[in-house]
Amino acid sequence: MKASVQKSLAVLGLVLVLGLGGAAAQPAAPSAEQPPAPAPAATDPAAPAAPTPPAAPTPGEPDTKAAAAAPATGAAPAAEPPKEKAWWEKKAEEKYTYHGNYWLPPSASTTADGSDTLFIAVLAMSAFFFFAITGAVIYLVIRYRHRPGHKAEPSAAHSDALEITWTIIPTIICVLLFVYGWRSYMDMTAIPETRPENQIAVTARKWSWSFRYYNGVEDNVLHVPVNQPVKLIMTSQDVLHSFFVPVFRQKMDVLPRRYTYTWFYPTKPGVYRLYCTEYCGTDHSLMKTKVVVHQAGDYEKFLAESFQAKNNVSGKDLGMLVYEKKGCIGCHTLDGRPLIGPSFKGTWDTDVKLADGSTVKFDATYVHTAIVSPQAQARPGFPPSMPVTGLSEKEIDGVIELIKSLK
Ligand code: CUA
C-alpha cells in the first residue's frame, strides 16, 4: 500500500520535473518591459537584416493607374496553362517556422514574453509548493505515526511569528504576480497607433477565416509586416469564434453583430499557425489557417501586387479566387464529394431536388439565388450553414462560370 503510494508520487514528480526541464530548455525570452525594439530576428536564417524599406508604395488610387498603364503584367498572359501562383501564395504554403510540442512554440511577438514569464513563474511556484508540502506531509505522517508505546504530543495552540510570516510572504507574492500580470495584460489590450495599411478586417464564419486588407483584397491567409504594430478589426457572420495565434500568445473572441479588436507586434518573419479556439460546431477543428509575417518591405509589395492581380481577373478565374479566398472551400468541393454543402461539380444544367420536394433547374439563376439568399431554395440533406457572403455581382458571375466549367 505504502509502496504503491510512493511509486505514484514518484511518477508524478518525474512528470513535473520533465515538464519544468522542457520549460527551461526554451530559449530565454528577452525582457518584456522593453518597448518594441525594431531589431530584426537574428535567429531566423530566412531573415537577412533588411534595411528599412523605402517609402512604401501606397496601394489604392495610384495602383489602379499603374495597373492600367501596365496591362501586360500579372495574371493576364498565363491564361491556358495551370496558373502560376503568386509569390505571397507560395510563401503561405511554406512549412511552419516552428512546430509545437508539449510547450507553446517560441514567441514571435513583443507581448508574448510577458505572459510566458508569468506562466513559468506561477508553474514553478506551484511545483515548489507541491513538493514542499507533499514532502512535509509524508515526513510528518511517518515521524508521528501511531505505534505501541508512543504517546500523542499536544499540538501548539498559536504562534504569532508563524502566522505573520505565512500571511506576509504570500501577500507579497500575490501582489508581485498581480502587478506583473496587470502590466502584461495592459500591453496586450491597449492597442497602439497603427498605420492604416496595418489595420486588417477579419471575418470569421463556420468554418473559415477571411482577412480584408487596406487595398480591398481578401485572402484566407493573414499577411502582416514584421516589426510594426498590426491591428485586427474582427467580426463573425454566424456564431462565436475566437482568434488565436500561439506564437503571438494573442487570443480574442470574435462575435456576431459586433466588432472586437486585437493587436500584436510580430518580431520574427515566418509562417505560423492561426486557430479558432472557441468550439463553434461540426468543423471547429478545421477552422485554422496561417499567418505570414513578411520581412521588411514585403508586406507593402504584397499589398501592391495582390491589388493588381485581383483587378486583372474575371470569369472562371475570379470564381476560383472567390472559392479559395472567401471561404467557399470550407464547405464545397470541386470534385463531386458532398461536404457541409453540395459539391460544385456535376450538377450544372441538371434538375436538383429542393428541401420542399419540388425540383428546379440548376442554372445561373439558381446559383445566384443560392448565394444571395442561401435558404430560399435549400437542398435536402445539408444543414442550413451557408452564410450570406456579400459577394459582388462580378464575383457571383465568376462563381457561376466556375461551376459551369465543372459540369
Ligand atoms: Cu470557429 Cu471554432
Residues 297 and 340 in one domain: no
Could you tell me if 247 and 289 lie in one domain?
yes
pLDDT digits (tens, 9 = 90+) for 95-142: 888 877 778 888 889 888 888 889 999 999 999 999 999 999 999 999
Long-range contacts of residues 383-390, Cβ cutoff 8 Å, at least 24 apart = 383/282, 383/340, 385/206, 385/238, 385/281, 385/331, 385/340, 385/341, 386/331, 386/341, 387/205, 387/206, 387/237, 387/238, 388/237, 389/326, 389/327
Q: Is 284 in the pocket of ligand 1 (CB under 6 A)?
A: yes
Number of domains in the chain: 2
Separation of 289 CA from ligand 1 center, angstroms?
Answer: 12
The reply to whether 368 falls in a domain is yes
- Closest CA to ligand 1's atom 1: 241
Same domain, 215 and 278: yes
Which numbered atom of ligand 1 lies nearest the CA of 279? Answer: 2
294 and 336 belong to one structural domain = no
Distance 110 CA to ligand 1 centre (A): 26
306 plus 322 within the same structural domain: no
Q: Are residues 300 and 319 in the same domain?
A: no
Crossing angle between the packed helical segments 112-143 and 2-25, to the nearest 10 degrees: 160
DSSP 158: -
Structural domain boundaries, residue 390:
314-404
Q: What average pLDDT does the structure give for the chain?
A: 78
Q: Which atom of ligand 1 is nearest to the CA of 204?
A: 1
Domain end among 310, 327, 362 = 310
Evaluate: CB of 241 within 6 angstroms of ligand 1.
Answer: yes
CA–centroid distance, residue 206 to ligand 1 (Å): 7
Query: What are the distances in angstroms from CA 336 to CA 90, 260, 330, 332, 347?
Result: 27, 37, 14, 9, 9
CATH code, domain carrying 202: 2.60.40.420
Q: Is 287 near ligand 1, meaning CB less than 6 Å away?
A: yes
What pLDDT does 348 receive? 85
Q: Which three cell numbers stand for residue 5?
A: 503510494
**Which atom of ligand 1 is nearest to 280's Cα?**
2
Domain boundary among 310, 340, 367: 310
90 assigned to some structural domain:
no
Instruction: Judge if 272 and 364 occupy the same domain.
Output: no
Q: Residues near 227 by Cβ (< 8 Å), separated by ≥ 6?
A: 36, 38, 39, 40, 265, 266, 267, 296
State which ligand 1 atom lies nearest to the alpha carbon of 285: 2
Over the stretch 263-315, which tens digit does the pLDDT of each residue have? 999 999 999 999 999 999 888 999 999 999 998 888 888 888 888 777 777 77
In a domain, 140, yes or no: no
pLDDT under 50 in the chain at which residues? 1-80
| Cα(210) to centroid(ligand 1), Å | 13
- 267 and 291 in a common domain: yes
Shared domain for 346 and 386, answered yes or no, is yes
Separation of CA 340 and ligand 1 centre (Å): 15
pLDDT of residue 223: 93
Nearest atom in ligand 1 to 281's CA: 2
User: CA 398 from chain center: how many Å?
Assistant: 29
For 165-179, what is each residue's pLDDT tens digit? 999 999 999 999 999
Q: Which of 281, 310, 339 is the last residue of a domain?
A: 310
Beta strands 230-236; 199-205: pairing state: parallel
Residue 51 lies in a domain: no
Judge whether 262 lies within some domain: yes
The answer to whether the CB of 276 is under 6 A from ligand 1 is yes
Q: Could you tell me the CATH number of the domain that includes residue 383?
A: 1.10.760.10
Cell of 107: 514567441
**Domain shared by 345 and 362, yes or no:** yes
